[in-house]
Each structure stands twice: as structure tokens, then as C-alpha cells.
Amino acid sequence: MTIVFAASLALFVLLIIVCIVLGPQETEKSIKALFDFKTYKEDYKKIIPFLSKKESDTQLDKEKEASVLDVFDKRIIVDKSSTPALLVPSEGIAPRSAFLFTGPLDDGGHEGIDIWTNLNGAGMDGKTYGKGNPVYASCSGYVRKVWEDNGDVTVICDTLDEYYKEVVPSLKIKTLYGHMADQFSDEVYIYVHEGQRVNRGDLIGHQGNRCYWSPENRVVHLHFGVYDITNTKQVPLDPTPYIGVSCTTLNQEFKIENES
Ligand SMILES: [Zn+2]
């Protein structure tokens, strides 16, 4: 009985403290959220959209996809005045907020931008289609690493021109291209090897569906990341100022501009 009393008292004191810190309204919301499992489940699904395999959910997801019209309406070109430091590596769309660039993985972020091959305003199911749009080297440099388990290619870029100093946070970067393999056929869509030199615009692979970290994620796409390699600890950077196309805007379209 004493234990029950002590536990109740502790809970009451904790509630008072939370109330003082958050304020009564926030406390009420938090308590409600605690018991509202359905809300949590839905939020979780939003973050990991391929979690559920049920036909009805897939249909629901498809309805939430951006329409092609939306994609064109919301397209943003950051810098039209000059050639961006890096080439857009692949064409497609970014219809999921969870897979835009949101910062370091350590902070719960997504360290790059996922570009989906566009099929009528939605992604392509890897099992049905396998291979997606071509992927090009966005900078000139050399291939540092090929990791087939995730269909990854890492390219260390040649130090970028001083001209870009005012526009980008670092001139010493590496670029990462992920998921260029097919989980179902085991085909690897990587056409370069470690140590190879590549030039900006060289074909290095195709979008695929192999994802080491999230085996449920089988939509055909490219994960593209830019990292500052000035120091030993590599820092993920928002690719936006590098490629001149927003990597933080939902429904953004990625197109490779003619460089001639
Ligand atoms: Zn990604």
C-alpha cells in the first residue's frame, strides 16, 4: 500500500513539474498524445512510408503522392545566373518530406536528397521496374569507394573553383550516389570502379532499389549526398547551393540542364 501511495505521489509531483516547464496546455496535449496510439502509428508511417505492405495502405499512399502538375508548379531553381558548382546527378522528383535533406543522421536527419524516377508524378515500384533514370557524376574527381550492398558510389570531387567560395560552405567535398542496384535480380547498376577518374556528366550508374538500411524501401531512386571533407569528421551538407536546385522543398523536380 505504501508503495502505491509513494508511486502516486511521485507521479503527481512529476506532473506538477511537467506542467510548470511546459505550461498547462502543452501538458494536456502531451498526455492526450501519450494515450493516442493511432496518431503515433500514422506519424510513424509518414516517416517510413513503406512500412506497411497492406494493399489498402499502398493505395492510400499513392493517393497522397504529388501529381505531376504539383511537381511542375512547385519547381524551384535556386540559381539561374551561373552554372552551379555541381551537376544535378539524376532526373526525378522528391515527393516525400522524410527523404529531403534534413541534416546529420546523428540528429535523426536524412543526409542527402532522394530523387525518384518520375512515373506519372509518383515513384516506381522496384519489384516491377528495377532500373530507373541514368545517374551522372555531378563533379569531376575520382571514385573513392564502390559499395554494392547499398549500390553506393563515392566520388571525391576535385577542389571546386574559388569562384564558388561565396555560394557554398566548402570547396572540398565528396559526393555520394546510393541505391544503384536491383535487390530482386541482383543486378548492379554501377559502371565505374574504385580509383577511376570521372568527369562531370559521365554516366556512372542507374537509379535502383537496393537499400541496405531500409530493406522495405524499394522505390526506384537515387540517394544523393554532399559531404564537407575539409576535416577528419565529414559533415553532410545541404546539396541545394551546390546543384542550384532546392533539396529541402517537397515535390521539387530535378532536371539536368543542358550545359552547352
Ligand atoms: Zn536517402
Selection from 168, 162, 172 nearest residue 141 by Cα: 172
DSSP reduced 3-state for 114 = strand
Distance from the alpha carbon of residue 223 to the mean position of ligand 1, in angstroms: 4
Do residue 114 and residue 41 come from a single domain? no
Do residue 51 and residue 128 come from a single domain? no
Q: Which of 28, 46, 64 is the last residue of a domain?
A: 64
Do residue 82 and residue 30 come from a single domain? no
Do residue 130 and residue 188 come from a single domain? yes
How many whole angstroms separate alpha carbon 143 and alpha carbon 175? 10
Do residue 143 and residue 242 come from a single domain? yes
Distance from the alpha carbon of residue 110 to the mean position of ligand 1, in angstroms: 6
Do residue 187 and residue 239 come from a single domain? yes
Q: Which of 32, 64, 96 is the last residue of a domain?
A: 64
Distance from the alpha carbon of residue 91 to the mean position of ligand 1, in angstroms: 15
Residue 8 pLDDT more than 90?
no
Average pLDDT over residues 240-252: 96
Distance from the alpha carbon of residue 108 to the mean position of ligand 1, in angstroms: 13
Q: Tell whether 190 is covered by a domain.
A: yes
How many whole angstroms separate alpha carbon 71 and alpha carbon 115? 13
Pairing of strands 113-116, 141-147: unpaired
DSSP-assigned letter for residue 184 = T
Q: Tell whether 259 is covered by a domain.
A: no
Selection from 86, 216, 229, 219 nearest residue 145 by Cα: 229
- What is the separation of C-alpha 16 from the centre of its chain, rounded to a whole number of angstroms? 40
Selection from 244, 253, 246, 255 nearest residue 79 by Cα: 244
How many whole angstroms separate alpha carbon 108 and alpha carbon 116? 22
What's the full length of the chain, in residues? Answer: 260
Q: What range defines the domain where residue 138 resides?
A: 68-254
Distance from the alpha carbon of residue 34 to the mean position of ligand 1, in angstroms: 30
Do residue 72 and residue 60 come from a single domain? no
Q: Tell whether 147 is covered by a domain.
A: yes
Do residue 26 and residue 146 come from a single domain? no
Lowest mean pLDDT among 57-71, 78-92, 131-145, 155-169: 57-71
Q: What CATH number does the domain containing 110 carry?
A: 2.70.70.10
Q: Tell whether 260 is covered by a domain.
A: no
- Contact (CB, 8 A) for 199 and 156: no
Distance from the alpha carbon of residue 242 to the mean position of ligand 1, in angstroms: 17
Selection from 187, 173, 150 nearest residue 235 by Cα: 173
Do residue 42 and residue 131 come from a single domain? no
Do residue 112 and residue 201 come from a single domain? yes
158-181 pLDDT per residue, tens: 999 999 999 999 999 999 999 999
Distance from the alpha carbon of residue 161 to the mean position of ligand 1, in angstroms: 28
Distance from the alpha carbon of residue 112 to the mean position of ligand 1, in angstroms: 6
Q: Which of 18, 43, 64 is the last residue of a domain?
A: 64
Do residue 47 and residue 76 come from a single domain? no
118-141 pLDDT per residue, tens: 998 889 998 888 899 999 999 999
Distance from the alpha carbon of residue 172 to the mean position of ligand 1, in angstroms: 22
Distance from the alpha carbon of residue 1 to the mean position of ligand 1, in angstroms: 53
Distance from the alpha carbon of residue 19 to the mean position of ligand 1, in angstroms: 38
Q: Please tell me the predicted confidence (pLDDT) of residue 130.
A: 85
203-243 pLDDT per residue, tens: 999 999 998 877 667 899 999 999 999 999 999 999 999 99
Instruction: Tell me how many domains the chain contains.
Output: 2
Do residue 41 and residue 79 come from a single domain? no
Residues with Cβ within 8 Å of residue 189, at least 6 apart in sequence: 131, 135, 151, 180, 181, 182, 205, 206, 207, 208
Q: How many other C-beta atoms are found inside a 10 Å radius of the C-beta of residue 21? A: 9
Q: Tell whether 213 is covered by a domain.
A: yes
